[in-house]
A and B are shown apart, each in its own frame.
Chain A
């Protein structure tokens, strides 16, 4: 009975993992087949243009892929690089941030984002913000929920084994309790991270794509000036009113900025 039951659990877990891995791939492959032009070929052409220093052409080609509805971390990362090479720091930061949502753990991306922001005075971040950014920047939403899902399946398997074979609980005690606790903790952590990332992604963030965006106390150009957004500064959009956005800087300072200076991501 024991080997048969263990085999069943292994089969179920393997099937779930395979399902998680294969279904998105299938959908992307299908989409790729339907696309009028091959995005991978366009990507390669764009990379060649970049290598030759034709950054505007590279941007145009990368944008062609995004206009087909595709996205990927490396695509946004390369777009960020190309924009930075043309001097458009704001656009570069915008695409690095988009890339961060798709592959947050990439060291190159982190390095380039930090490089692009070195001349941008965004205001000192609060410690609460730093903790939050670390939490939501560690995993993508998809990774978080997938990991939580796998933990859930494992935990369910362990619970089923306890239910069906209670007489073996004592026998399994040493490793069973440790495994059960670790999987339960992992489930809670992954669920929390996924929820935090989901909350964060439901918020509206923007990047100042032009220099000199003036944040004022009221949404009109005559209102008193509070601070000025440098190009590339990342801010959160709290409210929108007739062409003006109420933005919050990383240090918590809030002001109304004309929409012409901002681009959401």
Chain B
């Protein structure tokens, strides 16, 4: 028992060591990710530090940045198993509130993970002045709506409840997707029944409005609650069109004031004011794209490309999953996958989009996954990847690139390189040359349900041998019973034997051998009585009637038996001459007895059946 425990301990320790070593050998990397690179004063952005290859990293600290207030919100970890290999990552989440205009640099940060120290990238964030909404200059500190009788409610509502929408430019390209935000400002006013905003747009563009977020902003000394609706606008036709205004329906709640402030405070006496808010509209021009170069991904915007591969050390013929991430601004929802530059020695499957079009539309990245099989051990890298897109700000096509990812391909004894690596196209000329030729005749064409095993008669037919075996068995038993020496068997065969014997001796009568006939008839009758009543044939004489009377034989039959033996004795021992008529009379007596006994047996059987039933 002690030895077993020690072995168990050794195994567990070895497993733990293996797992720890495996974790340590994972490639470590760290990256700073921001949800946008520019924001206005008062806005906040989401900031993440992603550490790949470890779940035990310590959260890095950002140095104090003058115009940004950075707050740490906590980590999240994820572990993935791809083809039996474990990948792990930790993400540290922050938010940054812009307080001053300027361009700020975040990172590089030093991250400690898996006993190593790694550096992150550097990210630039630009903080611009706060957007100037159409707030009247004379707007003052949070006003008591309806407290100033000289200022009507509608006028005050317009100052404190309004809708804005921005556009970065007024000239776009067909196929371009622009992200904008519709903002609902409420300053010290309660609103309810807020509808989703809509944008009045011509046929030439498509608008999608996402889920709103809420923030607070100070404008000219008034604290506003801002509801932001992320919006993507895709331009699909060339020409001039009017975009907007964005409109939103809601009800403003305004407290009515009476002369009695006590009751005002006590009853909360609010009145609803239906509001139809509208932003300003824009006149935009949509231009056609210049002729695209080869490999154009369909992307219109400004993008960057990054690619990772897992695992980076494989056996030949094992799959590698490449994840290509396209980030930036533009039509991420409809952009095509990046293309691999060099596919020599690789079997490459089509890339598949992993982020849904909706996610890509409101996010800032599109993720593609591609399965690649290295076929040769000479493969040392996968890539480079490239993405050709159109930059509408520069008005020309650009190419985003991701460097080749180094991989190590080990020999795989179970992988048939020559077969699996054989490109299909090279064999297309001779496709099927090695096939054995088609059959000249269709064979036994038949309906799909016509198989014998699907027919009921086939299974019923299998009962036939069973029935035959059963029948043979019972027949054999009957035969055995007939041939045995039991009283019943003797009685059953007495009639048959007597009948046969009488038939055989009839020839003696034809030949006139009456004496011999009499002897034979006597013998047959004695044997019959012996079998029928289970007696000894040798000792049967006329006195047998005394014995038979006790067995229930009919009186008439007894008289016939007695008569036969009397007549036999007379002819045998007195020397009386026997004629043909006499033999017929004697035979008649025997037949009468046999018939009477048979009838008696039948009646008895019937009676037995009745009483048994």
A182 touches B (CB below 8 Å): no
Comparing A114-122, A172-180, A242-250, the segment that makes contact with chain B is A114-122
CA distance A39 to B447 in the complex (A): 11
Contact partner of B443 among A27, A50, A82, A103, CB < 8 A? Answer: A103
Q: Name, among B81, B420, B472, the residue most crowded by chain A CB atoms within 10 Å (CB to CB).
A: B472
In the complex with contacts A73-B443, A74-B441, A225-B82, A118-B419 CB distance below 8 A = yes
B350 touches A (CB below 8 Å): yes
| CB-CB nearest in chain A for B349 | A212
Per-residue 0/1 for A134-170: is the Cβ within 8 Å of any B Cβ (1 yes, 0 no)? 0000000110011001001101110110011010000
CA distance A43 to B442 in the complex (A): 7
Contact partner of B451 among A32, A87, A118, A142, CB < 8 A? Answer: A142
Residue numbers in A under 8 Å from B437 (CB-CB): 81
Taking the closest CB of chain A, its distance from the CB of B63, in whole angstroms, is: 37
In residues 420-445 of chain B, which contact A (Cβ within 8 Å)?
420, 422, 424, 428, 431-432, 434-445
Per-residue 0/1 for B66-87: is the Cβ within 8 Å of any A Cβ (1 yes, 0 no)? 0000000000000011110000
Residue numbers in A under 8 Å from B352 (CB-CB): 214, 221
CA distance A111 to B465 in the complex (A): 41
In residues 40-91 of chain A, which contact B (Cβ within 8 Å)?
40, 43, 47, 50, 65, 69-75, 77-78, 81-82, 84-85, 87
Residue numbers in A under 8 Å from B475 (CB-CB): 164
In the complex, the answer to whether B450 meets A47 with C-beta atoms within 8 Å is no
CA distance A115 to B451 in the complex (A): 30
In the complex with contacts A24-B446, A142-B452, A160-B468, A84-B431 CB distance below 8 A = yes
Taking the closest CB of chain A, its distance from the CB of B85, in whole angstroms, is: 10
| CB-CB nearest in chain A for B441 | A74
B321 touches A (CB below 8 Å): yes
CA distance A166 to B373 in the complex (A): 73
In residues 44-70 of chain B, which contact A (Cβ within 8 Å)?
none
B105 touches A (CB below 8 Å): no
In residues 226-260 of chain B, which contact A (Cβ within 8 Å)?
none
Taking the closest CB of chain A, its distance from the CB of B497, in whole angstroms, is: 21
In the complex, the answer to whether B82 meets A224 with C-beta atoms within 8 Å is yes
Taking the closest CB of chain B, its distance from the CB of A104, in whole angstroms, is: 13
CA distance A141 to B414 in the complex (A): 35
B266 touches A (CB below 8 Å): no
In the complex, the answer to whether A224 meets B80 with C-beta atoms within 8 Å is yes
A189 touches B (CB below 8 Å): no
In the complex with contacts A115-B435, A142-B453, A227-B83, A74-B443 CB distance below 8 A = yes
CA distance A108 to B437 in the complex (A): 8
Residue numbers in B under 8 Å from A50 (CB-CB): 438
Taking the closest CB of chain B, its distance from the CB of A136, in whole angstroms, is: 15
Please tell me the number of chain A residues within 8 Å of chain B, measured between CB atoms: 66
Residue numbers in B under 8 Å from A166 (CB-CB): 476
In the complex, the answer to whether A87 meets B431 with C-beta atoms within 8 Å is yes
In residues 76-110 of chain B, which contact A (Cβ within 8 Å)?
80-83
CA distance A163 to B478 in the complex (A): 12
In the complex, the answer to whether A72 meets B82 with C-beta atoms within 8 Å is no
In the complex, the answer to whether B442 meets A39 with C-beta atoms within 8 Å is yes
Per-residue 0/1 for B456-487: is the Cβ within 8 Å of any A Cβ (1 yes, 0 no)? 01100110111011001101100000000000
CA distance A227 to B428 in the complex (A): 26
A199 touches B (CB below 8 Å): no
A211 touches B (CB below 8 Å): yes
In residues 377-431 of chain B, which contact A (Cβ within 8 Å)?
414, 416, 419-420, 422, 424, 428, 431
Residue numbers in A under 8 Å from B373 (CB-CB): 228
Contact partner of A23 among B349, B440, B457, CB < 8 A? Answer: B457
In the complex, the answer to whether B438 meets A47 with C-beta atoms within 8 Å is yes
Residue numbers in A under 8 Å from B522 (CB-CB): none
Contact partner of B439 among A12, A77, A227, CB < 8 A? Answer: A77
Residue numbers in A under 8 Å from B468 (CB-CB): 12, 156, 160
Residue pairs across A and B with Cβ atoms less than 8 A apart, 18 shown, are A23-B455, A31-B447, A71-B448, A73-B443, A75-B445, A82-B438, A85-B432, A108-B436, A115-B435, A142-B453, A149-B458, A156-B466, A163-B472, A164-B476, A224-B82, A226-B83, A228-B371, A228-B373
Given contacts A221-B354, A225-B319, 7 further A-B contacts (CB under 8 A): A12-B464, A70-B446, A71-B448, A72-B442, A73-B443, A74-B438, A224-B81
Using CB atoms and an 8 Å cutoff, list the residues of chain A in contact with chain B.
12, 16, 19-20, 23-25, 27-28, 31-32, 39-40, 43, 47, 50, 65, 69-75, 77-78, 81-82, 84-85, 87, 103, 108, 111-112, 115, 118-119, 121, 124, 141-142, 145-146, 149, 152-153, 155-157, 159-160, 163-164, 166, 211-212, 214, 217, 221-222, 224-228
